[in-house]
Amino acid sequence: MAGFGVIRVGARSVERGSGHGFFRALFSYRVFVTAMFSLLFLASLSLLTTTTSTTTMPDPVGLLKNPNHHHHLHAYVSRTFLALKTDPFKTRLDLIVKQANDHVALVNAYAAYARKLKLENTKQVRLFAELSRNFSDLLSKPSYRAFLQSDNAIEEETLRQFERDLKERIKITRQIIADAKESFDNQLKIQKLKDTIFAVNEQLTRAKKHGVFSSLIAAKSIPKSLHCLAMRLMEERISNPEKYVDSGPPPPELENPNLYHYAIFSDNVIAASVVVNSAVKNAKDPRKHVFHVVTDKMNLPAMQVWFKMRPLNGAHVEVKAVEDYKFLNSSYVPVLRQLESANLQRFYFENNAQNATKDTANMKFRNPKYLSMLNHLRFYLPEMYPKLHRILFLDDDVVVQKDLTGLWKVDMEGKVNGAVETCFGSFHRYDKYMNFSNPLIRDRFNPKACAWAYGMNFFDLDAWRREKCTEQYHYWQNM
């Protein structure tokens, strides 16, 4: 039994050892098979590649048809390669010349920009011009020009010398550009900004001139249907004179200080009518409103016919001409004396089409209407209406939108004029109207003080007479 036991132990040992050997053999077999399949795959791939290359390669001259012609194939390939082969020195020369031309263009560009800068950069202009000449001299040098323009073989030593000379110039050029680039670029930007600002300012100035001129034309324009209105009204007056004759004394309402009095000075029938009608339409009691319309002698008949044909719901309208006020003559009114000046007449009445938009700053004030007495009558209101205490002046471009009787209740605190102040930046400041280079004006007035709108002014005529404002107006007019 002991022997069997030993045998069994040995048998178990043999069986265990036989299992390990089997696995090792199986693993070695698998590695071998994998290696063989890999080799077969590579061989097949190589065969396929070789076959494809062989079958797709063209035979240009039929040399592959005969195995004895392999040496001819070698000769053909050699000749083809030599035919395609280029001169390496020629390629190198082309690259060098291209580099030289690029730097010449760069130098010329910097020189052109430098000419646009200020005078302190004239040294840079000369420097860039000198660099450009150096490149040009090098390229036009006889020893180099010969092989630059020739198709013959290039000598290596000549090419190297040319390359050395060119590199020296390129090095100097790059150094100069690098030294000047920062300030040069900043100055270019500054100059370009200045040019842009200048161009924009020029456009703005032209736009302002055209705007002012167009606004003046628009302000004076009326529809075509109204161009002959004054003539048609005059025709009506001539055809029916009896209808427009004022008989008897003027109505007492025209001088009644307890009513609401308005002064309107205009030579425009439609404009005056709009002002009067808008005020009457918004008045709570039109019968208490009196309108004093003053025009020139030429438009007086048309104005009278217009208001006679259109009753104003009980409101009172007085239409007179400037000439009806006999005290308004050249011996008393400075403006009428100034009209006799030839220089003043040229300033206001000459019309040069080429200079129509030249003086936009004073274009508005060069309008001849500012010499018309209709524009100066407002300074004679106390004398024109001696029995009135207060009066509301309305310009002929005003449209009334509410009842204005509340203005007569305003406490003027002894002041002459009540108006709307207009201060928008530099608009309507005193320096826009008066010559402050004159010491008398400079000492008496503040150039930045605000003026006021003349479209609607409420006057205390008693305070005016007390302060003698008309006399002060004459004083400044006569200076």
Q: Can you give the residue range of the structural domain that contains 110?
A: 88-205
If pLDDT is split at 50, 70 and 90, which confidence band does 52 have?
very low
Amino acid letter, residue 244: Y
Q: Which of 21-30, 117-126, 234-243 shows the highest mean pLDDT?
A: 234-243
Per-residue pLDDT reduced to its tens digit, 394-409? 999 899 999 999 999 9
pLDDT for the residue 392 = 97
Q: What is the CATH number of the domain that holds 263?
A: 3.90.550
**pLDDT tens digit sequence for 255-284:** 999 999 999 999 889 999 999 999 999 999
Query: Is residue 169 domain-shared with residue 245, that is, in the same domain?
Result: no
In a domain, 4, yes or no: no
The Cα 234–Cα 469 span in angstroms is 38
74 within domain boundaries: no
* Domain final position from 157, 172, 205: 205
User: Regarding predicted confidence, which is higher, 150 or 386?
Assistant: 386
Is a pLDDT exceeding 60 seen at residue 362? no
In a domain, 247, yes or no: yes
- The domain boundary residue, chosen from 174, 205, 236: 205
Boundary (domain end) residue, out of 205, 237, 266:
205
**Number of domains observed in the structure of the chain:** 2
Statement: residue 227 has pLDDT above 80: no
* Same domain membership, residue 373 and residue 314: yes
Whole-number Å distance between alpha carbons of 175 and 183: 14
pLDDT at position 369, please?
62
Query: Is it the case that residue 51 has pLDDT exceeding 60?
Result: no
What length is written for the chain?
A: 479
**Cβ contact 272:396 at 8 Å:** yes
Structural tokens at position 321: 């001409």
Listed residue (453, 451, 450, 430) closest to 442, CA to CA: 430
Reduced to 3 states (helix: H, G, I; strand: E, B; else coil), residue 396 is coil
Q: Give the residue, 98 or 22, on which the prediction is more confident.
A: 98
CA 8 to each of CA 1, 4, 18, 319: distance values in angstroms, whole numbers, following the listed order: 10, 6, 15, 155
Q: Is the pLDDT of residue 83 over 50?
A: no
Task: Say if residue 110 is in the same domain as residue 247.
Answer: no
Instruction: State whether 142 and 274 are in the same domain.
Output: no
Between 444 and 346, where is the model more confident? 444
